[in-house]
């Protein structure tokens, strides 16, 4: 009986793990330095761009054009007094910033910067490592990073911090599921969860063209995962002062700040890898120049796409207001998740029909008709319900045909038609007030 032949190793994954130790260590140092420098540069770009949007100058004192402002802010945070409140859980209080920052660094390990190059005679990929389930590693690390936020709010022994941590956990549950569902269509088309293989599958056409709905869902969930405006409810300065990091200062606060901007960079790099062809050159350049996708040039295309996404995040922060918490949860649970599930079913059906040899034009027509039917059914359903979700129940509000409840909500309010009472005599307005004789002097009260 012949043994069952083993499947050959997949080409993009077989080179990982065979590099010498000094090359692996060098990649680790380069990735760490890249993330730190990108954080400093992103802070400068954000302050300059938002300053220009608001007719301000922005940082222009520390270094040429203010480029060293982020470094000055980091030194200032490091030298500030580290205050730990008396009643906090000190072990969890100290570990929470570490749990928020470390997963942010680990997530970037599977992002490919470019193809295979020669470094001191060794052929290696411009990527720290890759896994058959590399994209799931990013989801796992982002879930672990939320523990740092939740534990920071719980250990601070502050109601505002606790509310910020609870908001972050609810927001993560709402948007992590929709983000994972947006990846499923990419896995179907690429046939793998490896980031290097996903980039290789986009050699002729980027997934942003084939899977535009998945890209839109991922961009929205990116904003929800990064806890930035318009989805910065865990911090919410207007109602929670500073949210989960209200009680933090010095380096502990800097680590939360660092984790936020590293997550911003990681999500931008992940969007570039999954939907924008990764390190591959854009369409006009790749067709005109044969060597655009070889050597060290792909790093330039990768960085351009990443910083384009970062600018998009900054643009949204300077443009959109913060949404309400109920709007945030409704968008995640009632819009993004059902839409993602329906889109996955549609993509799976199209792939199955295509494998059976059906004409793609017929498949597109059927898909368009199905989408139109679903959209029409949704509109009719909303019209029949009459927008019941938009009705807000206000404590003490009058029901149709009824009177308001003065004591609703715990704050007794006198009815509008109640008589007005004077402060001294306690008698209604218009009633005769008897002035004591000792207060009558020359006819003047």
pLDDT in tens, the chain (445 residues): 444 443 333 455 666 667 788 888 888 999 999 998 998 898 888 888 988 888 888 888 888 888 888 888 888 888 888 788 888 888 888 888 888 888 888 888 889 988 888 888 788 888 888 888 888 888 888 888 888 888 888 888 877 788 878 887 888 777 888 888 889 989 988 888 888 889 988 888 888 888 888 898 898 888 877 777 777 776 766 666 777 778 888 888 888 888 888 888 998 999 999 999 888 888 778 777 777 888 888 899 999 999 999 999 888 888 888 777 778 888 888 888 888 888 888 888 888 877 777 776 667 677 767 766 776 776 677 667 655 555 555 554 555 555 555 555 554 455 555 454 444 444 544 444 444 444 444 444 4
Residue 432: predicted pLDDT? 46
Q: Which of 207, 222, 131, 211 is nearest to 176 (CA)?
A: 222
d(CA 277, CA 288): 17
Q: Token digits for 93? A: 């209080």
Q: Token pair for residue 249? A: 């200062």
Q: What is the pLDDT of residue 34?
A: 92
In a domain, 430, yes or no: no
Residue 370 lies in a domain: no
Q: Given this model, what pLDDT does residue 12 score? A: 55
Q: Do you know the residue count of the chain? A: 445
Q: What is the pLDDT of residue 307?
A: 92
Task: Give how many domains the chain has, as a whole number.
Answer: 1
Query: Does any domain span residue 376?
Result: no
With tokens 């569902």, the residue in question is 181
Q: At what angle do helices 250-275 and 298-319 cross, to 10 degrees?
A: 120
Q: How far is CA 330 from CA 27, 170, 175, 214, 352, in A?
A: 42, 12, 11, 19, 32
The pLDDT of residue 385 is 65
The four Cα atoms 157, 161, 163, 169 give a dihedral, to 10 degrees, of -110
Please check whether residue 319 lies inside any domain of the structure. Answer: yes
Q: Judge residue 275's burial from the number of C-beta atoms within 10 Å of its C-beta, 0-12 exposed, 13-18 middle, 19 or more buried.
A: buried
Q: How far, in Å, CA of 36 to CA of 249, rounded?
A: 20
Question: 195 with 135: CB under 8 angstroms?
Answer: yes
Q: How far is residue 301's CA from residue 297's CA, in Å, rounded to a whole number?
A: 7
Asked whether residue 120 is assigned to any structural domain, the reply reads: yes
The domain of 36 spans 16-281+292-344
Taking the C-alpha atoms of residue 346 and residue 337, their distance in angstroms, rounded to an integer, is 14
Residue 444 lies in a domain: no
pTM equals: 0.76
Q: Is residue 434 part of a domain?
A: no
Let me know if residue 299 belongs to a domain. yes
């Amino acid at each position: 009986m012949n043994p069952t032949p083993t499947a050959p190793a997949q080409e993009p994954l077989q080179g990982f793990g065979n590099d010498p130790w000094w090359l692996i260590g060098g990649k680790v140092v380069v990735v760490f330095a890249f993330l730190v420098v990108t954080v400093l540069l992103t802070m400068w770009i954000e302050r300059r761009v938002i300053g220009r949007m608001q007719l301000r100058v922005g940082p222009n004192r520390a270094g040429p054009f203010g480029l060293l402002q982020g470094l000055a802010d980091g030194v200032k945070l490091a030298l500030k007094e580290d205050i730990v409140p008396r009643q906090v859980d000190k072990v969890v209080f100290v570990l929470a910033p570490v749990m928020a920052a470390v997963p942010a660094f680990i997530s970037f390990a599977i992002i490919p910067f470019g193809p295979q190059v020669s470094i001191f005679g060794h052929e290696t990929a411009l990527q720290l490592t890759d896994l058959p389930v590399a994209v799931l590693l990013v989801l796992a690390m982002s879930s672990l990073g939320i523990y740092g936020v939740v534990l920071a709010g719980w250990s601070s022994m502050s109601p505002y911090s606790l509310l910020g941590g609870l908001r972050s956990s609810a927001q993560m549950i709402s948007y992590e599921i929709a983000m994972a569902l947006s990846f499923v269509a990419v896995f179907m088309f690429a046939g793998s969860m490896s980031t290097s293989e996903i980039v290789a599958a986009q050699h002729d056409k980027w997934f942003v063209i084939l899977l535009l709905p998945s890209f839109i869902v991922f961009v929205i969930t990116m904003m929800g995962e990064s806890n930035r405006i318009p989805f910065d409810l865990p911090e919410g300065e207007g109602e929670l002062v500073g949210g989960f990091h209200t009680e933090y200062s010095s380096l502990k606060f800097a680590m939360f700040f660092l984790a936020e901007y590293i997550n911003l960079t990681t999500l931008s790099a992940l969007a570039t890898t999954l939907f924008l062809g990764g390190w591959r050159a854009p369409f006009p350049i790749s067709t005109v120049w044969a060597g655009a996708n070889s050597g060290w040039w792909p790093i330039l295309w990768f960085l351009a796409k990443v910083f384009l996404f970062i600018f998009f995040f900054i643009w949204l922060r300077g443009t959109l207001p913060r949404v309400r918490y109920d709007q945030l949860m409704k968008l995640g649970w009632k819009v993004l998740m059902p839409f993602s599930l329906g889109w996955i079913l549609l993509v799976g059906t199209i792939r199955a029909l295509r494998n059976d040899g059906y004409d793609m034009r017929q498949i597109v027509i059927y898909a368009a008709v199905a989408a139109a039917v679903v959209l029409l059914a949704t509109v009719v359903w909303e019209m029949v319900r009459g927008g019941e979700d938009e009705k807000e129940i206000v404590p003490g509000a009058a029901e149709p045909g009824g009177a308001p409840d003065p004591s609703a909500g715990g704050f007794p309010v006198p009815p509008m038609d109640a008589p007005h009472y004077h402060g001294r005599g306690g008698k209604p307005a218009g009633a005769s007030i008897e002035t004591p004789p000792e207060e009558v002097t020359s006819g003047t009260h």
